[in-house]
């Protein structure tokens, strides 16, 4: 409080004057307001020195100086002023208001605006904020940075997936990830499209191909007013990415590097060999292991220790930028290499970017943005993967018999547990299974700007996003899935190209108290993707792996696929301001998409927003309280087109028939066409407040929003007489309502500085209607246990709602079990509540048990600076969500057929009447209940960084502008009651319905690193 009160007093006054005299090596004086009042709290120091002082309570200061010194005078809310002492006797310095924050220009769709003129809800993240976190991909750098934007690392796999939700999930079946626009080119973070299909398990993060070190700003468009300019693709929010451009001046080189090590944050406590042997005997009701054998087993093999490792990661970036009055350029090279904490998992990226701007004439300028990247990755399977017959490494390490060793006496791998349950050796699976992908991506555009008249500009651009992916999968004989088939291989490749042409005309005109900007444009985008996949098994040996499929005895049928879509759009936007107080924005986008029916090819997405800059009103200025005060209101409609192509058309599916003794191919109708198929539409209202205090020292942004998505794209059941089981239709609606609060403050702004950024948000999701469908079931989660339909989508509840039985502890000896709702149970079995009181336990006794959406989530960053030192701590949190811990469900079931949690040592027995872990039994019968659900709330220190910038005078001789060294720790600690590896883990990655399901997810590592930033 003491540090803020003086600055509050300063903020009430304008244009202070510094009066000082220099005598006998001392500069002394006072600071006066424009009214002649003395001001405390103004800092005077020697540039590049350690000496400094602040005006005392009476506004006076005194400091020893030399003639060669330069004084730096700063105060909260005022621009820093420098003055050379030299031989001056009397000094007079005026401090000017610092309005940089209000005049900051940020990127909006198809243009830029002053931050103070925004009428929509936009969060801006600058380069300094973003680069505090060394990240693999740009989406990871957004975590905890923006109110209402929930970022989840769904897999700790190197290059693994990240899921982002901007103001909740809008749909059940369609994509819910935001649209990314990189230097004007729209792309999706669609991990399924980034992979060709050969790899199994988690897919690579599509955005990991974009080098985050090239980014200088990120804007997140959250409401309809801001995102409507992207029409049919704006419903899930839009993330605008701007990369580094050249500046006028000599070539400047930036070299950034870091090296670090990663560790698994924690390991799950499991039974050792001795305890497991006792469980096996107990579950089988007989002595399969003698006391002498059990005594000899000891601790046995800790399979988690066998697969986890301390893994290095490193990153190197060199950037050159510069130019003259007519030509500006920026060129960067990047190498990133990350080994995973699971052995044999890794990710590498090689990337280069070239940005060029040229002012050809006074009216014509042109330029290009070009990035080229290659990634190589070997993905470790973490959980069971459908269709491949291979359990994941994490699943195997948690389940494999601890009595067994890694290898047999002859050096070969022990392939499976001896308890009769097929379970692969996790070390063999991790080391020998090949699951590799190589991807090349070229993303670039060329553009030209022509000034037709003063105030009238034409811009045209053409670009392409080309992705080529090749994937190899090979399970050798040393891996369980390859043992019985003498090796199995699969090879796949995919080539995708997205072409884009945009043409816009912008008119600016200011007259009297009016300011007008009108934008009109036409864009067209075409996407094409081709894939081919083939497989083989039955190889003579494993030497060639997946490089010679013709050597396999059994050759699988090749599978090819072609996908393409086109989008043609018209854009219109009007920005109007009156007296720089009253702001109006009107936007309209018309999108025509090949994905939708002949009757609904075009969608119309209008929006409008207004803002009132109260801080420009005289009656507010007289308060001398606000540096900014603005209220905003917006309403509009945006869309979602993220469905597979051709859904509106009648399709054909190839079939195989046996005629005589031959197999012949034919075609049959593949779906029910729907000529009325159209976009999902999301109407959103937003009310916002932007307030600044103490001349920009404290800034607050608050928003309330209400989103309603209608015409949801859902597959609904149709009569079997149609020949099909389901059809895609526009039915149902979903609502998201919430509030957001963002705050940033310069708590202390003297020689020691302390800045705080804080955000918190609450979103409530609810399905309003499913049309004629009463509920949507989610199918079965595969694994040791079969969990059927754990999530049910039903009107009146959030999309990701868990639905199951209610556990009522364990039946104890003496309970009247035969008269209960579970008459066949015995003491030690799990008891369930008979909710409807009909005397039996069946499907009617299930209820909604919680959902995966948090009640609150947010982030907080503290930045400290003192004499060249900087310390940054970034936290993020989630509160009130529920996780289905499928891993714990398996580990807490004491069957003795696989290893179990250490908790199973305290299972129910006649002498230990546990009320949480049931008795040991070979019976795997299982009912999904709240016993398998846990709180997913957590509070995490995501990044802690300590840096030191060497004094400039030390570097001048070497012509170095800046040299900063730092040490960082990532995911240093997490406070949570969740018992799994990571409360962010999500089996389905970017999926919407099963968001809160953790099934043997690859843990997010803890990392320690050192690095440097060098500018010369």
- 198 and 93 share one domain: no
- 238 and 124 share one domain: yes
Question: Reduced to 3 states, what is the DSSP secondary structure of residue 440?
Answer: strand
Among 406, 450, 437, 443, CA closest to 424 = 406
Report the DSSP beta bridge partners of residue 321: 252, 330
- 216 and 90 share one domain: no
* Count of helices and strands (H, E) across the chain: 14, 55
Close Cβ partners of 429 (under 8 Å, ≥ 6 residues apart): 381, 390, 391, 392, 393, 396, 479, 480
Among 153, 163, 135, 189, CA closest to 338 = 135
- Is 227 a member of any domain? yes
- 188 and 216 share one domain: yes
The pLDDT score that the predictor gives to residue 194 is: 43
Tokens representing residue 490 in the block: 């699969």
**Contact, 364 vs 351, CB < 8 A?**
no
**Contact, 793 vs 995, CB < 8 A?**
no
Question: Reduced to 3 states, what is the DSSP secondary structure of residue 640?
Answer: strand
Q: Where are the beta strands (DSSP E) in 379-431?
A: none
Which H or E run includes 941? strand 938-949
Residue with tokens 């991909």, as numbered in its chain:
137
- Is 17 a member of any domain? yes
The pLDDT score that the predictor gives to residue 193 is: 45
Domain of 197, in residue numbers: 103-243
The domain boundary, picked from 228, 243, 258, lies at: 243
Neighbouring C-beta atoms of residue 745, cutoff 10 Å: 19
Report the DSSP beta bridge partners of residue 217: 126, 242
What would you report as the CA-atom Rg of the chain, rounded to the nearest whole angstrom?
32
pLDDT, one tens digit per residue, over 527-583 is 999 999 999 999 999 999 999 999 999 998 888 889 899 999 999 999 999 998 999
CA distances from residue 74 to 21, 35, 94, 96 in whole angstroms, order as listed: 18, 19, 11, 10
Q: How many CA atoms lie within 13 A of 66 on its CB side?
A: 5
The pLDDT score that the predictor gives to residue 992 is: 81
Among 788, 790, 814, 812, CA closest to 801 = 790
Classify burial at 604, counting beta carbons within 10 Å of its beta carbon; exposed 0-12, middle 13-18, buried 19 or more: middle
The pLDDT score that the predictor gives to residue 11 is: 34
Question: Reduced to 3 states, what is the DSSP secondary structure of residue 127?
Answer: helix
Neighbouring C-beta atoms of residue 869, cutoff 10 Å: 12
**Contact, 670 vs 653, CB < 8 A?**
yes
- 162 and 197 share one domain: yes
Close Cβ partners of 749 (under 8 Å, ≥ 6 residues apart): 7, 74, 76, 697
**Contact, 787 vs 889, CB < 8 A?**
yes
Given a cut of 50, the residues of the chain with pLDDT beneath it are 1-14, 76-77, 99-101, 193-202, 386-389
CA distances from residue 343 to 19, 201, 223, 1002 in whole angstroms, order as listed: 67, 16, 44, 12
- 94 and 151 share one domain: no
Could you write out the DSSP letters of every residue in 283-308?
HHTS-SS-HHHHHHHTT---HHHHHB
- 90 and 173 share one domain: no
Please give the Cα distance from 954 to 961 (Å, whole number): 10
**Contact, 9 vs 39, CB < 8 A?**
yes
Please give the Cα distance from 405 to 412 (Å, whole number): 11
> Vertex 509, ends 504 and 510: CA angle to 5°?
150
Strands 680-693 and 780-781: unpaired
The domain boundary, picked from 98, 121, 155, lies at: 98
**For 122, left (φ over 0), alpha (ψ -120 to 50), or beta?**
beta
**Contact, 428 vs 396, CB < 8 A?**
no
CA distances from residue 753 to 206, 223, 233, 796 in whole angstroms, order as listed: 38, 34, 42, 49
Please give the Cα distance from 582 to 616 (Å, whole number): 10
- Is 219 a member of any domain? yes
Count up the domains in the chain and report the number: 2
- 107 and 94 share one domain: no
Classify burial at 273, counting beta carbons within 10 Å of its beta carbon; exposed 0-12, middle 13-18, buried 19 or more: buried
- Is 285 a member of any domain? no
Tokens representing residue 900 in the block: 């179990």
> Vertex 6, ends 3 and 9: CA angle to 5°?
145
Q: What are phi and psi of 227, to 5 degrees?
A: -95, -10
> Vertex 345, ends 344 and 350: CA angle to 5°?
120
- Is 23 a member of any domain? yes
Close Cβ partners of 710 (under 8 Å, ≥ 6 residues apart): 680, 681, 682, 683, 732, 733
* Domain containing residue 201: CATH number: 2.170.130.10
- 84 and 124 share one domain: no
Please give the Cα distance from 44 to 813 (Å, whole number): 80
**Contact, 246 vs 317, CB < 8 A?**
no
CA distances from residue 522 to 463, 470, 496, 589 in whole angstroms, order as listed: 15, 35, 24, 10
Tokens representing residue 237 in the block: 């929010």
Tokens representing residue 637 in the block: 């409609």
Residue with tokens 């609810």, as numbered in its chain:
766
Neighbouring C-beta atoms of residue 878, cutoff 10 Å: 22
Q: Where are the beta strands (DSSP E) in 208-310?
A: 215-221, 238-243, 249-263
Please give the Cα distance from 104 to 744 (Å, whole number): 15
Please give the Cα distance from 1001 to 160 (Å, whole number): 11
- Is 192 a member of any domain? yes
- 121 and 192 share one domain: yes
Report the DSSP beta bridge partners of residue 668: 653
- 18 and 145 share one domain: no
pLDDT, one tens digit per residue, over 18-77 is 878 888 888 888 877 655 556 666 777 787 665 666 666 566 778 888 888 888 887 644
Residue with tokens 């990337």, as numbered in its chain:
351
Classify burial at 507, counting beta carbons within 10 Å of its beta carbon; exposed 0-12, middle 13-18, buried 19 or more: middle
Close Cβ partners of 795 (under 8 Å, ≥ 6 residues apart): 767, 768, 769, 770
Model pTM?
0.85
Question: Reduced to 3 states, what is the DSSP secondary structure of residue 244?
Answer: coil
Tokens representing residue 874 in the block: 């970034």
Question: Reduced to 3 states, what is the DSSP secondary structure of residue 142?
Answer: helix
Q: How many CA atoms lie within 13 A of 63 on its CB side?
A: 27
- Is 282 a member of any domain? no
Please give the Cα distance from 940 to 795 (Å, whole number): 34
Buried b (16+ CB within 10 A) or exposed e, 338-368: bbbbbbbbbbbbbbbbebbbebeeeeebbbb
**Contact, 892 vs 905, CB < 8 A?**
no
The pLDDT score that the predictor gives to residue 86 is: 80
Please give the Cα distance from 372 to 240 (Å, whole number): 19
- 166 and 120 share one domain: yes
- Is 786 a member of any domain? no
CA distances from residue 117 to 241, 622, 794, 890 in whole angstroms, order as listed: 20, 22, 42, 55
The domain boundary, picked from 42, 64, 98, lies at: 98
């Amino acid at each position: 409080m003491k540090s803020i009160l003086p600055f509050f007093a300063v903020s009430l006054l304008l244009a202070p004057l510094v009066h000082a005299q220099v005598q006998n090596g001392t500069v002394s004086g006072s600071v006066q307001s424009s009214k002649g009042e003395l001001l405390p709290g103004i800092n005077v120091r020697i540039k590049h020195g350690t000496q400094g002082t602040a005006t005392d309570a009476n506004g006076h200061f005194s400091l020893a100086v030399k003639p060669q010194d330069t004084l730096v005078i700063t105060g909260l809310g005022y621009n820093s002023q420098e003055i050379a002492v030299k031989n001056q006797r009397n000094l007079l310095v005026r401090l000017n208001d610092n309005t940089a924050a209000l005049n900051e220009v940020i990127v909006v769709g198809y243009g830029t605006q002053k931050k103070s003129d925004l009428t929509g809800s936009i969060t801006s993240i600058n380069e300094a904020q973003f680069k505090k976190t060394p990240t693999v991909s740009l989406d990871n750098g957004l975590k905890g940075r923006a109110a209402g934007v929930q970022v989840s690392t769904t897999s700790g796999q190197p290059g693994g997936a990240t899921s982002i939700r901007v103001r909740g999930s809008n749909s059940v079946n369609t994509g819910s990830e935001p649209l990314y626009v990189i230097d004007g080119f729209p792309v999706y973070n669609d991990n399924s499209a980034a992979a060709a299909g050969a790899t199994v398990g988690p897919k690579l993060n599509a955005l990991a191909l974009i080098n985050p070190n090239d980014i200088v700003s990120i804007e997140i468009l959250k409401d309809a007013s801001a995102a409507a300019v992207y029409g049919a693709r704006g419903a899930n929010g839009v993330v605008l990415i701007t990369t580094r451009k050249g500046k006028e001046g000599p070539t400047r080189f930036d070299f950034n590097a870091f090296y670090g090590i990663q560790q698994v944050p924690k390991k799950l406590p499991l039974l050792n060999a001795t305890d497991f042997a006792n469980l096996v005997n107990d579950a089988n009701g007989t002595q399969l292991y003698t006391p002498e054998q059990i005594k000899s087993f000891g601790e046995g093999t800790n399979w988690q220790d066998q697969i986890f490792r301390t893994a290095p990661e490193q990153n190197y970036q060199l950037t050159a930028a510069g130019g003259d009055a007519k030509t500006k350029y920026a060129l960067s090279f990047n190498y990133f290499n990350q080994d995973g904490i699971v052995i044999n998992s890794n990710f590498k990226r090689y990337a280069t970017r070239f940005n060029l701007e040229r002012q050809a004439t006074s009216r014509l300028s042109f330029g290009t943005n070009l990035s080229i990247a290659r990634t190589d990755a070997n993905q470790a399977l973490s959980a069971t993967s459908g269709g491949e017959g291979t359990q994941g490494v994490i699943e195997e390490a948690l389940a494999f018999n601890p009595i067994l060793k890694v290898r047999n006496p002859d050096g070969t791998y022990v392939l499976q547990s001896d308890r009769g349950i097929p379970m692969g050796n996790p070390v063999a699976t991790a080391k020998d299974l090949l699951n590799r992908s190589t991807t090349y991506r070229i993303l670039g555009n060329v553009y030209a700007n022509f000034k037709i008249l003063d105030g009238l500009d034409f811009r045209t651009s053409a670009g392409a996003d080309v992705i080529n992916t090749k994937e190899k999968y090979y399970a050798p004989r040393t891996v369980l899935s390859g043992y019985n088939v003498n090796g199995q291989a699969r090879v796949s490749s995919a080539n995708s190209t997205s072409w884009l042409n945009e043409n816009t005309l912008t008119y600016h005109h200011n007259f009297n108290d009016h300011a007008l900007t009108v934008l009109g444009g036409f864009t067209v985008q075409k996407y094409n993707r081709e894939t081919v996949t083939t497989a083989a098994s039955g190889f003579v040996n494993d030497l060639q792996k997946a490089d010679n499929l013709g050597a396999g005895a059994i050759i699988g049928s090749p599978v090819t696929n072609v996908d393409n879509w086109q989008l043609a759009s018209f854009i219109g936007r009007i920005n109007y301001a009156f007296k720089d107080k009253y702001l109006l924005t009107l936007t309209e986008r018309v999108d025509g998409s090949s994905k939708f029916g002949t009757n609904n090819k075009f969608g119309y997405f209008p929006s409008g927003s207004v803002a009132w800059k109260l801080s420009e009103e005289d009656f507010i200025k007289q308060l001398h309280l606000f540096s900014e005060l603005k209220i905003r209101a917006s309403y509009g409609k945006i869309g979602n087109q993220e469905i597979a192509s051709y859904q509106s058309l009648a399709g054909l599916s190839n079939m195989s028939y046996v005629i005589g003794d031959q197999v012949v191919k034919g075609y049959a109708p593949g779906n029910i066409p729907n000529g009325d198929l159209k976009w999902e539409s999301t109407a959103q209202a937003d009310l916002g407040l932007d307030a600044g205090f103490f001349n920009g020292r404290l800034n607050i942004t608050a928003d309330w929003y209400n989103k309603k998505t209608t015409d949801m794209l859902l597959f609904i059941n149709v009569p079997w007489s149609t020949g099909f089981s389901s059809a895609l239709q526009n039915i149902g609606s979903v609502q998201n309502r919430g509030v957001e609060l963002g705050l940033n403050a310069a708590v202390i702004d003297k020689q020691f500085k302390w800045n705080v950024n804080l955000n918190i948000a609450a979103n409530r999701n609810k399905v309003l209607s499913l049309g004629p469908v009463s509920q949507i079931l989610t199918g079965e989660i595969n694994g040791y246990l079969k969990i059927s339909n754990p999530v049910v989508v039903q009107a009146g509840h959030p999309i990701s709602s868990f639905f199951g039985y209610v556990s009522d502890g364990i039946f104890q000896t003496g309970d009247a079990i035969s008269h209960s709702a579970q008459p066949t149970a015995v003491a030690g079995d799990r008891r369930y509540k008979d909710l409807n009181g009909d005397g039996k336990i069946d499907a009617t006794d299930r209820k909604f048990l919680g959902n995966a959406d948090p009640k609150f989530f947010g982030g907080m960053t503290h930045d400290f600076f003192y004499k060249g030192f900087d310390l940054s701590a970034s936290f993020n949190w989630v509160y009130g969500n529920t996780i289905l811990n499928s891993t714990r469900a398996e580990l807490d079931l004491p069957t003795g057929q696989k290893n179990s949690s250490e908790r199973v040592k305290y299972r129910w027995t006649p002498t230990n009447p546990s009320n949480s872990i049931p008795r040991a039994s070979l019976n795997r019968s299982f009912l999904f209940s709240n016993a398998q659900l846990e709180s997913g709330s957590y509070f995490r220190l995501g990044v802690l960084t300590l840096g030191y910038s060497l004094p400039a005078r030390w570097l001048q001789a070497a012509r170095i502008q800046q040299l900063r060294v730092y040490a960082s720790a990532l995911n240093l600690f997490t406070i949570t009651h969740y018992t799994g590896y990571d409360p962010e883990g999500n089996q389905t990655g970017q999926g919407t319905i099963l968001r809160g399901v953790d099934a043997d997810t690859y843990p997010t590592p803890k990392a320690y690193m050192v690095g440097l930033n060098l500018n010369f």
